[in-house]
Structure 1
Protein backbone atom coordinates (compact mmCIF):
# COMPACT_ATOMS: atom_id res chain seq x y z
CA UNK A 1 0.00 0.00 0.00
CA UNK A 2 1.29 3.46 -0.90
CA UNK A 3 1.92 6.03 1.80
CA UNK A 4 -1.43 7.72 2.51
CA UNK A 5 -2.29 11.39 2.70
CA UNK A 6 -3.15 12.97 6.04
CA UNK A 7 -5.98 15.15 7.30
CA UNK A 8 -5.88 17.16 10.54
CA UNK A 9 -9.34 17.57 12.06
CA UNK A 10 -9.95 21.03 13.51
CA UNK A 11 -13.61 21.50 12.71
CA UNK A 12 -15.02 21.31 16.25
CA UNK A 13 -16.62 24.12 18.23
CA UNK A 14 -14.27 23.94 21.27
CA UNK A 15 -17.13 24.82 23.61
CA UNK A 16 -15.32 23.62 26.74
CA UNK A 17 -12.46 26.00 25.94
CA UNK A 18 -14.84 28.91 25.41
CA UNK A 19 -14.84 28.61 21.62
CA UNK A 20 -12.18 29.55 19.10
CA UNK A 21 -9.45 27.39 17.59
CA UNK A 22 -8.02 25.00 20.17
CA UNK A 23 -5.15 24.27 17.84
CA UNK A 24 -3.83 27.78 18.47
CA UNK A 25 -3.28 27.12 22.19
CA UNK A 26 0.33 26.90 23.28
CA UNK A 27 2.31 24.19 25.07
CA UNK A 28 6.06 24.41 25.25
CA UNK A 29 6.01 27.64 23.27
CA UNK A 30 4.43 25.90 20.28
CA UNK A 31 0.78 25.65 19.21
CA UNK A 32 -1.07 22.36 19.53
CA UNK A 33 -1.63 22.44 15.78
CA UNK A 34 2.08 22.89 15.15
CA UNK A 35 2.86 19.87 17.33
CA UNK A 36 0.34 17.83 15.32
CA UNK A 37 1.76 18.97 11.97
CA UNK A 38 5.31 18.15 13.12
CA UNK A 39 4.27 14.62 14.05
CA UNK A 40 2.03 13.78 11.12
CA UNK A 41 3.73 15.43 8.14
CA UNK A 42 6.76 13.05 8.04
CA UNK A 43 4.39 10.07 8.02
CA UNK A 44 2.20 11.02 5.05
CA UNK A 45 2.41 12.02 1.39
CA UNK A 46 0.69 15.36 1.93
CA UNK A 47 -1.47 17.16 4.50
CA UNK A 48 -4.77 19.03 4.57
CA UNK A 49 -6.45 20.89 7.44
CA UNK A 50 -10.17 20.40 8.01
CA UNK A 51 -11.61 23.56 9.56
CA UNK A 52 -14.86 25.48 9.27
CA UNK A 53 -15.27 29.25 8.98
CA UNK A 54 -12.83 31.62 7.33
CA UNK A 55 -9.91 29.55 6.00
CA UNK A 56 -7.78 32.70 5.83
CA UNK A 57 -7.14 32.53 9.56
CA UNK A 58 -4.88 29.54 8.88
CA UNK A 59 -2.87 31.20 6.12
CA UNK A 60 0.27 31.08 8.26
CA UNK A 61 0.06 27.28 8.60
CA UNK A 62 0.87 26.66 4.95
CA UNK A 63 -1.67 23.88 4.44
CA UNK A 64 -4.72 23.65 2.21
CA UNK A 65 -7.92 24.07 4.24
CA UNK A 66 -11.17 22.21 3.57
CA UNK A 67 -14.47 22.69 5.38
CA UNK A 68 -17.11 20.11 6.24
CA UNK A 69 -19.39 19.39 3.30
CA UNK A 70 -22.18 18.36 5.69
CA UNK A 71 -24.01 21.24 7.39
CA UNK A 72 -24.54 21.64 11.13
CA UNK A 73 -21.21 20.60 12.65
CA UNK A 74 -21.83 16.88 12.16
CA UNK A 75 -18.83 15.82 14.22
CA UNK A 76 -15.55 14.11 13.35
CA UNK A 77 -17.03 11.95 10.60
CA UNK A 78 -17.79 15.11 8.63
CA UNK A 79 -14.11 16.03 8.91
CA UNK A 80 -13.12 12.55 7.82
CA UNK A 81 -15.34 12.92 4.75
CA UNK A 82 -13.80 16.29 3.91
CA UNK A 83 -10.36 14.71 4.14
CA UNK A 84 -11.42 11.80 1.95
CA UNK A 85 -12.84 14.10 -0.71
CA UNK A 86 -9.61 16.10 -0.74
CA UNK A 87 -7.50 12.94 -0.87
CA UNK A 88 -9.56 11.65 -3.80
CA UNK A 89 -8.63 14.81 -5.70
CA UNK A 90 -4.97 13.95 -5.08
CA UNK A 91 -5.47 10.48 -6.55
CA UNK A 92 -5.07 8.82 -3.14
CA UNK A 93 -6.73 5.58 -2.05
CA UNK A 94 -6.83 6.33 1.68
CA UNK A 95 -6.25 9.02 4.27
CA UNK A 96 -5.07 9.05 7.89
CA UNK A 97 -6.73 11.49 10.27
CA UNK A 98 -5.42 13.14 13.43
CA UNK A 99 -7.06 15.64 15.78
CA UNK A 100 -5.68 19.17 16.01
CA UNK A 101 -5.86 19.16 19.83
CA UNK A 102 -3.89 15.94 20.40
CA UNK A 103 -0.18 16.83 20.43
CA UNK A 104 1.41 13.56 21.60
CA UNK A 105 0.11 10.89 19.22
CA UNK A 106 2.65 8.24 18.08
CA UNK A 107 5.26 9.06 15.48
CA UNK A 108 4.63 5.62 13.98
CA UNK A 109 0.84 6.11 13.84
CA UNK A 110 0.54 5.69 10.09
CA UNK A 111 2.84 2.68 9.89
CA UNK A 112 0.94 0.86 12.63
CA UNK A 113 -2.47 1.65 11.15
CA UNK A 114 -1.36 0.40 7.75
CA UNK A 115 0.06 -2.77 9.29
CA UNK A 116 -3.30 -3.47 10.91
CA UNK A 117 -5.06 -2.95 7.57
CA UNK A 118 -3.08 -5.61 5.69
CA UNK A 119 -5.44 -7.82 3.71
CA UNK A 120 -8.43 -5.49 3.92
CA UNK A 121 -10.14 -4.66 0.63
CA UNK A 122 -10.93 -1.21 2.01
CA UNK A 123 -8.36 -0.18 4.65
CA UNK A 124 -10.31 0.95 7.73
CA UNK A 125 -8.56 1.00 11.11
CA UNK A 126 -9.02 2.99 14.34
CA UNK A 127 -6.28 3.64 16.90
CA UNK A 128 -6.85 2.19 20.39
CA UNK A 129 -5.15 2.16 23.78
CA UNK A 130 -5.66 -0.21 26.74
CA UNK A 131 -8.16 0.71 29.43
CA UNK A 132 -6.46 0.86 32.80
CA UNK A 133 -7.42 1.42 36.43
CA UNK A 134 -10.81 3.08 36.91
CA UNK A 135 -11.55 2.95 33.19
CA UNK A 136 -11.30 -0.84 33.21
CA UNK A 137 -13.55 -1.09 36.26
CA UNK A 138 -16.17 1.21 34.76
CA UNK A 139 -16.29 -0.86 31.59
CA UNK A 140 -17.97 -3.62 33.59
CA UNK A 141 -16.26 -6.36 31.65
CA UNK A 142 -16.91 -4.70 28.30
CA UNK A 143 -14.28 -3.51 25.88
CA UNK A 144 -10.75 -3.48 27.28
CA UNK A 145 -9.61 -0.74 24.94
CA UNK A 146 -10.39 2.89 24.29
CA UNK A 147 -11.06 3.60 20.64
CA UNK A 148 -9.88 6.98 19.37
CA UNK A 149 -12.23 7.81 16.51
CA UNK A 150 -10.36 10.90 15.29
CA UNK A 151 -7.24 8.79 14.66
CA UNK A 152 -7.79 6.32 11.87
CA UNK A 153 -7.03 5.04 8.40
CA UNK A 154 -9.95 5.60 6.03
CA UNK A 155 -10.61 4.33 2.48
CA UNK A 156 -11.45 6.80 -0.28
CA UNK A 157 -13.55 4.06 -1.90
CA UNK A 158 -16.15 4.32 0.90
CA UNK A 159 -16.49 8.11 0.94
CA UNK A 160 -19.87 8.13 -0.82
CA UNK A 161 -21.16 5.52 1.62
CA UNK A 162 -20.00 7.76 4.47
CA UNK A 163 -21.60 10.80 2.85
CA UNK A 164 -24.94 8.99 2.62
CA UNK A 165 -24.68 7.83 6.24
CA UNK A 166 -24.04 11.39 7.44
CA UNK A 167 -27.00 12.70 5.46
CA UNK A 168 -29.12 10.02 7.15
CA UNK A 169 -28.06 11.37 10.54
CA UNK A 170 -25.21 9.07 11.56
CA UNK A 171 -22.80 10.79 13.95
CA UNK A 172 -21.10 8.01 15.94
CA UNK A 173 -17.82 7.03 14.31
CA UNK A 174 -17.61 3.48 15.64
CA UNK A 175 -21.07 2.58 14.33
CA UNK A 176 -19.90 3.29 10.81
CA UNK A 177 -16.51 1.59 11.18
CA UNK A 178 -18.09 -1.50 12.75
CA UNK A 179 -20.59 -1.69 9.89
CA UNK A 180 -17.67 -1.88 7.47
CA UNK A 181 -15.58 -4.44 9.40
CA UNK A 182 -13.16 -1.85 10.70
CA UNK A 183 -10.12 -3.07 12.59
CA UNK A 184 -8.14 -1.71 15.53
CA UNK A 185 -4.46 -0.91 16.07
CA UNK A 186 -3.39 -1.06 19.71
CA UNK A 187 -0.89 1.52 21.00
CA UNK A 188 0.85 1.64 24.37
CA UNK A 189 -0.44 4.04 27.03
CA UNK A 190 2.90 4.17 28.88
CA UNK A 191 3.85 6.66 30.32
CA UNK A 192 0.50 8.20 29.29
CA UNK A 193 -2.19 7.82 26.67
CA UNK A 194 -0.62 9.29 23.50
CA UNK A 195 -4.08 10.26 22.27
CA UNK A 196 -4.73 12.59 25.20
CA UNK A 197 -6.53 15.63 23.82
CA UNK A 198 -6.98 19.14 25.18
CA UNK A 199 -10.64 19.94 25.87
CA UNK A 200 -10.44 22.22 28.91
CA UNK A 201 -8.05 24.71 30.53
CA UNK A 202 -7.19 21.95 33.01
CA UNK A 203 -6.24 19.66 30.13
CA UNK A 204 -3.97 22.35 28.74
CA UNK A 205 -2.14 22.60 32.06
CA UNK A 206 -1.83 18.80 32.16
CA UNK A 207 -0.43 18.77 28.61
CA UNK A 208 2.29 21.19 29.68
CA UNK A 209 3.39 18.68 32.33
CA UNK A 210 3.13 15.73 29.95
CA UNK A 211 5.39 17.46 27.47
CA UNK A 212 8.23 17.25 30.00
CA UNK A 213 7.96 13.42 29.98
CA UNK A 214 8.76 13.10 26.28
Structure 2
Protein backbone atom coordinates (compact mmCIF):
# COMPACT_ATOMS: atom_id res chain seq x y z
CA UNK A 1 0.00 0.00 0.00
CA UNK A 2 2.58 2.57 1.07
CA UNK A 3 4.62 2.14 -2.12
CA UNK A 4 1.85 3.90 -4.07
CA UNK A 5 1.30 6.87 -1.71
CA UNK A 6 2.53 10.10 -3.31
CA UNK A 7 5.25 12.01 -1.49
CA UNK A 8 5.49 15.80 -1.19
CA UNK A 9 8.77 17.47 -0.25
CA UNK A 10 8.14 20.72 1.61
CA UNK A 11 10.51 23.46 0.47
CA UNK A 12 8.25 26.49 0.60
CA UNK A 13 9.82 28.28 3.56
CA UNK A 14 11.85 31.49 3.52
CA UNK A 15 15.07 30.07 5.08
CA UNK A 16 15.68 33.31 6.96
CA UNK A 17 18.23 31.75 9.34
CA UNK A 18 20.27 30.65 6.33
CA UNK A 19 20.19 34.14 4.83
CA UNK A 20 17.39 33.30 2.41
CA UNK A 21 17.38 31.13 -0.69
CA UNK A 22 16.56 27.45 -1.01
CA UNK A 23 18.00 25.35 1.79
CA UNK A 24 17.38 22.23 -0.23
CA UNK A 25 19.84 23.37 -2.90
CA UNK A 26 22.69 23.68 -0.38
CA UNK A 27 25.33 20.98 -0.50
CA UNK A 28 26.32 18.72 2.36
CA UNK A 29 29.27 16.39 1.77
CA UNK A 30 29.14 17.06 -1.98
CA UNK A 31 25.44 16.37 -2.49
CA UNK A 32 22.50 18.75 -2.40
CA UNK A 33 20.07 18.28 0.46
CA UNK A 34 17.15 18.01 -1.94
CA UNK A 35 18.82 15.13 -3.77
CA UNK A 36 19.40 13.30 -0.51
CA UNK A 37 15.76 13.75 0.50
CA UNK A 38 14.48 12.63 -2.91
CA UNK A 39 16.62 9.50 -2.78
CA UNK A 40 15.42 8.55 0.69
CA UNK A 41 11.73 9.31 0.10
CA UNK A 42 11.41 7.85 -3.39
CA UNK A 43 12.48 4.45 -2.06
CA UNK A 44 9.47 4.42 0.26
CA UNK A 45 6.50 5.78 -1.69
CA UNK A 46 4.99 6.58 -5.07
CA UNK A 47 5.29 9.67 -7.28
CA UNK A 48 6.99 12.73 -5.81
CA UNK A 49 6.26 16.45 -6.03
CA UNK A 50 7.99 19.49 -4.58
CA UNK A 51 6.18 22.27 -2.73
CA UNK A 52 8.06 25.50 -3.43
CA UNK A 53 7.24 29.12 -4.17
CA UNK A 54 8.81 31.51 -6.67
CA UNK A 55 10.23 30.61 -10.07
CA UNK A 56 9.85 26.83 -10.51
CA UNK A 57 12.52 26.77 -13.22
CA UNK A 58 15.26 26.58 -10.59
CA UNK A 59 14.13 23.03 -9.90
CA UNK A 60 13.86 21.91 -13.54
CA UNK A 61 16.70 19.43 -13.19
CA UNK A 62 14.76 17.46 -10.59
CA UNK A 63 12.03 16.47 -13.06
CA UNK A 64 9.33 16.82 -10.39
CA UNK A 65 6.04 18.74 -10.38
CA UNK A 66 6.53 21.99 -8.45
CA UNK A 67 3.49 22.92 -6.36
CA UNK A 68 3.26 26.51 -5.07
CA UNK A 69 1.24 27.44 -2.01
CA UNK A 70 -2.35 28.31 -2.85
CA UNK A 71 -2.61 30.42 0.33
CA UNK A 72 -0.69 33.73 0.22
CA UNK A 73 1.91 35.21 2.61
CA UNK A 74 3.86 32.03 3.36
CA UNK A 75 1.50 30.59 6.00
CA UNK A 76 3.78 27.67 6.83
CA UNK A 77 4.00 23.94 6.17
CA UNK A 78 0.26 23.33 6.21
CA UNK A 79 0.01 25.38 3.01
CA UNK A 80 2.48 22.99 1.41
CA UNK A 81 0.47 20.04 2.66
CA UNK A 82 -2.66 21.56 1.11
CA UNK A 83 -0.88 22.05 -2.22
CA UNK A 84 0.15 18.42 -2.07
CA UNK A 85 -3.38 17.26 -1.28
CA UNK A 86 -4.79 19.21 -4.23
CA UNK A 87 -2.19 17.58 -6.51
CA UNK A 88 -2.92 14.14 -5.05
CA UNK A 89 -6.62 14.62 -5.72
CA UNK A 90 -5.84 15.34 -9.37
CA UNK A 91 -3.90 12.08 -9.74
CA UNK A 92 -6.48 9.99 -7.89
CA UNK A 93 -4.57 9.33 -4.65
CA UNK A 94 -6.19 9.03 -1.22
CA UNK A 95 -3.24 10.22 0.91
CA UNK A 96 0.12 11.94 0.71
CA UNK A 97 3.18 11.73 2.89
CA UNK A 98 5.21 14.87 3.53
CA UNK A 99 8.90 15.35 4.25
CA UNK A 100 11.01 18.46 4.76
CA UNK A 101 13.65 19.42 2.20
CA UNK A 102 16.21 20.27 4.90
CA UNK A 103 16.11 16.99 6.84
CA UNK A 104 18.34 14.42 5.09
CA UNK A 105 18.47 11.66 7.73
CA UNK A 106 14.78 10.86 8.24
CA UNK A 107 13.94 7.17 8.79
CA UNK A 108 14.01 4.74 5.91
CA UNK A 109 10.78 3.19 7.20
CA UNK A 110 9.04 6.54 7.69
CA UNK A 111 6.13 5.95 5.32
CA UNK A 112 5.23 2.45 6.47
CA UNK A 113 5.38 3.50 10.12
CA UNK A 114 3.18 6.54 9.49
CA UNK A 115 0.64 4.33 7.74
CA UNK A 116 0.59 1.80 10.56
CA UNK A 117 0.09 4.49 13.23
CA UNK A 118 -2.49 6.64 11.39
CA UNK A 119 -5.41 7.94 13.41
CA UNK A 120 -9.11 7.41 12.85
CA UNK A 121 -9.29 10.19 10.25
CA UNK A 122 -6.15 9.07 8.43
CA UNK A 123 -3.61 11.58 9.78
CA UNK A 124 -0.32 10.66 11.40
CA UNK A 125 2.67 12.77 12.48
CA UNK A 126 6.18 11.52 13.02
CA UNK A 127 7.84 12.09 16.38
CA UNK A 128 11.24 11.46 17.92
CA UNK A 129 12.45 10.73 21.43
CA UNK A 130 14.58 13.50 22.93
CA UNK A 131 16.54 13.92 26.14
CA UNK A 132 14.91 12.44 29.19
CA UNK A 133 12.56 10.39 27.04
CA UNK A 134 10.49 13.39 26.00
CA UNK A 135 8.67 12.89 22.69
CA UNK A 136 8.85 15.70 20.12
CA UNK A 137 6.40 15.81 17.25
CA UNK A 138 7.80 16.51 13.78
CA UNK A 139 5.01 18.43 12.03
CA UNK A 140 6.61 18.52 8.57
CA UNK A 141 6.71 14.72 8.44
CA UNK A 142 3.23 13.28 8.22
CA UNK A 143 0.57 11.24 6.50
CA UNK A 144 -2.35 13.33 5.23
CA UNK A 145 -5.71 12.20 3.75
CA UNK A 146 -7.02 13.88 0.62
CA UNK A 147 -10.53 13.69 2.09
CA UNK A 148 -9.63 16.48 4.56
CA UNK A 149 -8.19 18.95 2.05
CA UNK A 150 -11.25 21.23 2.01
CA UNK A 151 -11.29 21.26 5.80
CA UNK A 152 -7.61 22.23 5.81
CA UNK A 153 -8.18 24.94 3.21
CA UNK A 154 -10.95 26.43 5.32
CA UNK A 155 -8.75 26.35 8.42
CA UNK A 156 -5.88 28.10 6.65
CA UNK A 157 -8.15 30.73 5.16
CA UNK A 158 -9.45 31.29 8.68
CA UNK A 159 -5.94 32.08 9.92
CA UNK A 160 -4.76 28.77 11.38
CA UNK A 161 -1.01 28.30 11.08
CA UNK A 162 0.10 25.80 13.74
CA UNK A 163 0.18 22.26 12.39
CA UNK A 164 -0.58 20.43 15.62
CA UNK A 165 -3.70 22.48 16.33
CA UNK A 166 -5.23 21.12 13.14
CA UNK A 167 -3.91 17.57 13.50
CA UNK A 168 -5.03 17.33 17.13
CA UNK A 169 -8.52 18.41 16.09
CA UNK A 170 -8.56 15.46 13.69
CA UNK A 171 -7.24 12.84 16.13
CA UNK A 172 -3.89 12.31 14.44
CA UNK A 173 -1.87 9.22 15.16
CA UNK A 174 1.79 9.38 16.06
CA UNK A 175 4.73 7.30 14.83
CA UNK A 176 7.58 7.59 17.35
CA UNK A 177 11.17 7.01 16.24
CA UNK A 178 14.18 6.54 18.50
CA UNK A 179 17.00 9.09 18.39
CA UNK A 180 19.85 6.61 18.27
CA UNK A 181 22.62 7.46 17.60
CA UNK A 182 21.11 10.88 16.77
CA UNK A 183 17.72 12.41 16.04
CA UNK A 184 16.75 11.24 12.53
CA UNK A 185 14.77 14.45 12.11
CA UNK A 186 17.81 16.68 12.60
CA UNK A 187 17.17 19.57 10.22
CA UNK A 188 19.45 22.19 8.74
CA UNK A 189 18.50 25.76 9.63
CA UNK A 190 21.86 27.52 9.96
CA UNK A 191 25.38 27.33 8.49
CA UNK A 192 26.49 25.61 11.72
CA UNK A 193 23.91 22.90 11.07
CA UNK A 194 25.59 22.17 7.74
CA UNK A 195 28.84 21.52 9.58
CA UNK A 196 26.99 19.28 12.03
CA UNK A 197 25.39 17.34 9.16
CA UNK A 198 28.82 16.75 7.66
CA UNK A 199 29.97 15.28 10.98
CA UNK A 200 26.92 13.04 11.12
CA UNK A 201 27.53 11.78 7.60
CA UNK A 202 31.17 11.06 8.39
CA UNK A 203 30.16 9.13 11.53
CA UNK A 204 31.29 11.76 14.00
CA UNK A 205 27.92 11.75 15.72
CA UNK A 206 26.98 13.78 18.80
* 1:7-86 equivalences in 2 (<5 Å): 7-86=8-87
* 1:107-146 equivalences in 2 (<5 Å): 107-117=108-118, 120-133=119-132, 144-146=134-136
Once the two structures are superposed, what CA deviation does each residue of 1:63-102 show, in whole Å capped at 9, x if it has no partner?
1101000000000000000011111111000000000000
Shift of 1:121: 4.5
Structure 2 runs not aligned, ≥5 long: none
Contact 2:121 2:172 in 1 (8 A): no
User: What's 1:159 paired with?
Assistant: 149
Shift of 1:17: 0.3
User: What's 2:195 paired with?
Assistant: 205
- Aligned residues, how many? 203
Shift of 1:123: 1.3
Taking structure 2 as the reference length, the TM-score comes to 0.95
Taking structure 1 as the reference length, the TM-score comes to 0.92
Provide runs of 4+ in structure 1 moved above 6 Å. Answer: none
- Three-state SS of the structure 1 residue aligned to 2:154 is helix
User: What's 2:101 paired with?
Assistant: 100
Shift of 1:131: 2.1
Shift of 1:212: 1.6
Contact 2:49 2:84 in 1 (8 A): yes
Structure 1 runs not aligned, ≥5 long: 137-143
- Three-state SS of the structure 2 residue aligned to 1:113 is helix
Once the two structures are superposed, what CA deviation does each residue of 1:18-71 show, in whole Å capped at 9, x if it has no partner?
000000111121000000000001111100000000001100111110100000
Cα distance in 2 for residues equivalent to 1:29 and 1:46: 26
